[in-house]
Amino acid sequence: PENVGIIAMEVYFPYNCVNQEKLEEFDGVSKGKYTIGLGQRNMGFCGDREDINSLSLTVVHKLMENNSINPDDIGRLEVGTETLIDKSKSVKSVLMQLFEESGNTNIEGVDTTNACYGGTQALFNAVSWIESSAWDGRLAIVVAADIAVYAAGSARSTGGAGAVAMLVGPGAPLVMERGMRSIHMQHAYDFYKPNMSSEYPVVDGKLSVRCYFHALDQCYSRYTEKGRQLDNKTLFTLEDIDYAMFHTPFCRIVQKSLARLMFHDFLCDPECDSSDGEKYADLAKFRNVKLEETFQDEAKGREIEKASMKCSQKVYDKKTEPSLCISRDVGNMYTPSLYGCLASLLFSESIEDLAGKRLMLFSYGSGLASAMFSFRISDDIGSSSPLHALVTSLKDIPARLESRRQVEPGEFLKTLTTREHTHNKNNYSPTCSEEELFPGTYYLTNVDEKFRRTYQRK
């Protein structure tokens, strides 16, 4: 099969959100910490009516409905998530309810977990299946979904929630570029969830940011090496990429990431001082620095970060900023975060600007697993083209973000407390109102004495 990649996408985020400026005031932190320091505007969150199963049911049902997908045409379905409510039964098995009526039980795939990375592995699995001898000609659906909540403290404002579903197959408008994939995996205790009775992770925030940047360095170094081979050139830099997207725990880290890649480009190009001095003028005095020094010497690291951000501002505005709409307004959705960035780019840019472009994506999941890979966008932009259909289907997202209900921080806190008390409970019926859900949302109606969950669709 040729041109395997993403054919259609669906994005879901919760109806309720809390404003970060109000949260700064409520938490008693300095004004600007969450909004400027982290770059966030609003944060989506779920009440006790929603869990990982309901989010996934909602997004897959919508993907199938909006794209008139025949259930019999699906041969693989996988879920990437770190929101576990069962240590054995997969979310995928719950989603099989959506195929019951059609009688199609012949669907491969189960769940994949490693922090925010599971969705990416699920996507790779789906693409591999289609390119393999096991493929039977049908399409795959990949789901990334999570509810990201933190205990009270400095991490809480970097929560979020949401789900992305992607239809994967041949002849796609977003083609996963063969050969352009690099991986970095390592053991780290930067963020993990050892406490089965709590939704909250144990997190070492500073370490997680360091691990994220280290993984970024490793992936980019390997990715550019592959780019040099594939494009047959001596230098492969941000200029060879049209758009750069990153897993987004908060928007500010993404701007820093793009800046870091530019610093990497600068270090790899000793010739540039004479040939193209202008381009890296802000960085010239760091010519003899090694990338690792940014970790070893904090003051120097900050100085380089500042200079790189200045140097890369224009590139950031053009190649990365358009991908941050959902992240800024919903927060870190965990596994769907990167795919929310992809969707944001597709509805923010014009189809003419997108046509034929190369997208670079960086996926990071604590613990840790990371990858950098690319898509090529089709250059067929006709009104009946698959790209046109994909882009058009995402255009309602800004209006949906706007139409959410903004909740006071006090109510947000109360909702989190409810979730704490009801997490893992049996013999339980949720108390949050069904009113506070978008139409078409699945919601939990009951957990019986044997922990079996039932759902309804609004």
Angstrom distances, CA of residue 12 to CA of 165, 406, 407, 452 = 9, 17, 18, 24
Residue of 75, 162, 249, 386 interacting with ligand ACO (CB under 6 A): 249
292, HSE (Cβ side, Cα atoms, 13 Å): 0
Q: Give, in order, the Cα–Cα distances in Å from 122 to each of 49, 87, 134, 248, 376.
A: 26, 18, 16, 18, 19
- HEC letters along 136-170: CCCEEEEEEEEEECCCCCCCHHHCEEEEEEEEEEC
In whole angstroms, the minimum distance from the beta carbon of 122 to ligand ACO comes to 17
Q: Write down the least CB distance from residue 425 to ligand ACO, Å.
A: 26
- Residue of 67, 154, 198, 422 that binds ligand ACO (CB under 6 A): 154
339 scored as a contact of ligand ACO (CB under 6 A): no
When the beta carbons of 58 and 208 are compared against ligand ACO, the nearer one is 208
* Cα distance between residue 209 and residue 200, in whole Å: 18
The nearer residue to ligand ACO, 43 or 176, going by C-beta atoms, is: 43
Strand 358-365 to 453-457 pairing: unpaired
Nearest approach, Cβ of residue 291 and ligand ACO (Å): 18
| Residue 296 phi, psi dihedral angles, 5° rounding | -75, -35
DSSP annotation string for 398-421:
HHHHHTSEEE-HHHHHHHHHHHHH
Span interacting with ligand ACO, options 208-216, 338-346, 376-384, 396-404, rule CB under 6 A: 208-216
Q: Which is nearer to ligand ACO, 83 or 441 (CB)?
A: 83
Positive/negative CA dihedral, 325, 327, 329, 335: positive
DSSP string, 343-398: HHHHHHS-HHHHTT-EEEEEEEETTTEEEEEEEEE-S---TTSHHHHHHHHTTTHH
- List, by residue number, the catalytic residues: 82, 116, 247
Can you tell me whether residue 240 is helix, strand or coil?
A: helix
Residue 191 interacting with ligand ACO (CB under 6 A): yes
Stretch (H or E) spanning 446: strand 442-447
* CA nearest to 169, candidates 251, 262, 286, 76: 76
Q: Is 30 in the site for ligand ACO (CB under 6 A)?
A: yes
Q: At which residue do the structure tokens 């352009």 appear?
A: 180
- Identity of the residue, 347 or 362, whose beta carbon is nearer to ligand ACO in the bound complex: 362
**Does position 210 bind ligand ACO by CB under 6 A?**
no
Stretch that binds ligand ACO, among 27-35, 57-65, 165-173, 397-405 (CB under 6 A): 27-35
Shortest reach from residue 274's CB to ligand ACO, in Å: 33
Q: Which is nearer to ligand ACO, 32 or 171 (CB)?
A: 32
Cα 183 from Cα 124, distance rounded (Å):
12
CB of 252 to ligand ACO, least distance (A): 6
User: Is residue 203 a contact point for ligand ACO (CB under 6 A)?
Assistant: yes
Q: Is 397 in the site for ligand ACO (CB under 6 A)?
A: no
Q: Is 370 one of the binding residues for ligand ACO (CB under 6 A)?
A: no
Give 37's contacts (C-beta < 8 A, 6+ positions apart): 252
Task: Quickly tell me which residue has 């949720």 as its tokens.
Answer: 430
Of 1, 25, 36, 276, the residue at the interface with ligand ACO (CB under 6 A) is 36
Q: Does 31 bind ligand ACO (CB under 6 A)?
A: yes
Out of 129, 135, 212, 263, the only residue in the binding site for ligand ACO (CB under 6 A) is 212
- Residue selected from 4, 6, 17, 38 as contacting ligand ACO according to rule CB under 6 A: 38
Residue 79 found at the interface with ligand ACO (CB under 6 A): no
Determine the longest span between alpha carbons in the chain, in angstroms. Answer: 73
Nearer to ligand ACO, 58 or 335 (CB): 335
Identify which of residues 42 and 158 has a Cβ nearer to ligand ACO in the complex.
158
Q: Which of 155, 163, 309, 351 binds ligand ACO (CB under 6 A)?
A: 155
Instruction: Write down the residue that tokens 């202008």 correspond to.
Output: 278
Number of residues that bind ligand ACO (CB under 6 A): 21
- For residue 32, the minimal CB distance to ligand ACO (Å) is 3
Interface residues toward ligand ACO, by CB under 6 A: 30-33, 36-38, 116, 154-155, 158, 191, 203, 205-206, 208-209, 212, 249, 332, 366
